[in-house]
Chain A
Amino acid sequence: MSTFDFPPSIASRPTYGALAPRAGAAQIMLADAEGAEALLAVAQADPELMHRAHVIYIPKHTGERFTDPLRAAAPDILHIAPSYPACTQRLHRVFSAAPMGAQIYLAGTEGLIGQAMALALQIGIPKSAIQTEHRGSVARRVQCVHCKGITEDVMTDPFQCGHCGLNLFVRDHYSRRLAAFQGVCIDAEDPGNVPPSVELYS
């Protein structure tokens, strides 16, 4: 199973639910890797809704595993994209054309959900039109508060900022606008004293 129970945390840290079919003027779905399982669950619960959906899917390391089942669910449009950056322009176009009442479904890693949510909000789609479900990796997108560089797929805490090289600890404080957690210098008060990295949620 690809689900993970995040321990309770502070109010700015996103929480995730389970996708459920919702009536609306349009159905737009985006998933990466194991996130496909969440979309397939929606298709199973309401096959008709899936036939009206525009689905964008990024398989990542799962290869062909979910592409055939998704095709079999027969969405109105299915677009397989090699990466999130490769489909951002398309997503922008699809979100911008979505009438009020459209339902958005995001499933997969926190990085994908967060970035697509930020894009949707920026276009004006209200937050509660967007459902999210976490699946797969617990890697985080982290912004270095010092140099502002964002590092993708951070798996350890602390980690070294990929931009400025500072050693950062990963806070649960999260910015929806940046789609990133906050990384703060861990050895500012004792330079060089960096505790060993541990895997997130290990």
Chain B
Amino acid sequence: MTIQFNDETFRDDYTFRNSEWAIRRFPFPFHEDSYMYSVNMERHRGGPEGSVYEKRFDVDEHYISEMRDRAQVLADDPLRCQSLPHMTLAGWDLLELIMVSKSEDYPDLFELHRDGATWRWVNKPLGIDDTFTFMDESSLPYGPMEYITRQTQGDFAVLDQRENNLWMDAGMVTTQADWSLDFDIGMNFFEWHAPVPMAHEMGVFKRALKFLLNVQQGSPARRLNWTMTVNPLLDTSPENYHKWGIQKTMLTPENVGRKQHLRVELQTFFRLPRSNALVFPIRCYLIALEDLVTVPKWGRRLHRVIRDLPEELATYKGFIDNRPMILDYLSQYDDGQTTSPGIWPDLDTEPPLRR
């Protein structure tokens, strides 16, 4: 299909909206009625047609507007994109991975023409047509990682692999769930996950690291993570928390369905061939509760998950104060009927809401 790109904002007047199409394909993260941390990795080798899992780098209706928002964030704070000196080779790896994937997966939107080291990249949605020399930084307007991630939705953490650990040594981070690249750059896997409660004791990160160290070239992996955000604000950075934190207090029973969003991260992991680094794209999808509950199964399940979530996790995810109001709203969409296993909407088989 050809994508109709939205003209929308993720700040100030918040004109962001999901179309019917975007709602149906939303990556709902709960495969059962409860949630606990787990490594829950699977191979990233496509998925059902039209789903966000189908392509290596999903492009959707928010593409152009998200890229505009990213450019704005970077203009305000260039430290959101950084690369330690030894990560340039990984940057070229990433540029190649994305250009090859997008031109193969979306031939109507992106083109890559390679003649030896001379590459021509055409990005039709953003109106870019650049010719450059592969592995020659001076031939691009930015470093290779910054160049390509200014044109790709989602945050990017580029991880160096050494000493049997992964090191966050480069990244493009403008749509993060409350962590600071500028602060975390250079940390190892355990250090940058240090603030996450409970999971360390459960050995989750040890297992996850072991898995990630073994991700092989040509065999990417993926998992989902989630949190809650008031307003469709992409840039929930700690840097700007003193500005956006107040928005959390502006929920009312009248506006909660419209303002409260479930925020889901589709995290993927690719081995980068020339540098042996690992890239960790973190793609953020937002959905307003009022849109989410149009899928009866999701409305029922989200209510149960939020209700039963341990206090520490609700605190860490930053919605502990608003939880009662969110539950009041969601409870209207939970009629107690059982839900089918798995994450898919199952619109044809799940019963409509009983009032």
Q: Write the nearest CB–CB distance from B176 to chain A, whole angstroms.
A: 12
Q: Are the C-beta atoms of A143 and B193 separated by less than 8 Å?
A: no
How many angstroms between the C-alpha atoms of A171 and B184 in the bound complex? 13
Shortest beta-carbon distance from B94 to chain A in Å: 22
From B192, B194, B241, B248, A184 is in contact (CB under 8 Å) with: B241
Q: How many residues of A contact B (CB 8 A)?
A: 23
Q: Is A148 a contact of B241 with CB atoms below 8 Å?
A: no
- Establish whether residues B195 and A173, one from each chain, have CB atoms under 8 Å apart when the complex forms: yes
- The A contact surface, by secondary structure, is loop
Pair A175/B200 contact, Cβ less than 8 Å = no
Query: Is B183's CB under 8 angstroms from A182's CB?
Result: yes
In the assembly, what is the distance between CA of A145 and CA of B244, in Å? 14
- In the complex where A145-B239, A171-B195, A173-B194 touch, is A185 in contact with B245 (Cβ < 8 A)? yes
Q: Mark out the residues of chain B between 185 and 217 whose CB falls within 8 Å of any chain A CB in the assembled complex.
A: 185-187, 190-195, 200
A11 in contact with B241 (CB, 8 Å): no
Q: In the bound complex, what is the Cα–Cα distance between A147 and B143 (angstroms)? A: 25
Instruction: Indicate whether A189 reaches chain B with its CB closer than 8 angstroms.
Output: yes
Closest residue to B240 on the A side, CB-wise?
Answer: A146
- Inter-chain contact A13/B242, CB cutoff 8 Å: no
Query: Which residues from A are CB-within-8-Å of B192?
Result: 12
Residues of B near A178 (CB, < 8 A) are 183
A188 adjacent to B194 (CB under 8 Å) = no
Do the beta carbons of A11 and B185 come within 8 Å of each other? no
Residue from B182, B191, B242 in contact with A166 in the complex, judged by beta carbons closer than 8 Å: B242
CB-CB under 8 A from A191, the residues of chain B are: 246
Question: Is A145 within 8 A of B200, CB to CB?
Answer: no
State whether A189 touches B249 (Cβ < 8 A): yes
A11→B200 contact, CB < 8 A:
yes
Complex contact B242–A175 (CB within 8 A):
no
Interface hits, A39-81 → B, CB 8 Å: none
* B79, B194, B240 interface centre (most CB from chain A within 10 Å): B194
A–B pairs, 20, beta carbons within 8 Å: A11-B200, A12-B187, A12-B191, A12-B194, A12-B195, A145-B180, A145-B183, A145-B239, A148-B79, A166-B242, A173-B195, A176-B187, A178-B183, A184-B238, A184-B241, A185-B242, A185-B245, A188-B241, A188-B244, A188-B246
Chain A residues with a Cβ under 8 A of chain B: 10-13, 143, 145-146, 148, 166, 171-173, 175-178, 182, 184-185, 188-191
Q: Given known contacts A185-B245, A189-B246, what 4 new A-B pairs fall within 8 Å (CB)? A: A11-B191, A12-B192, A145-B238, A175-B186
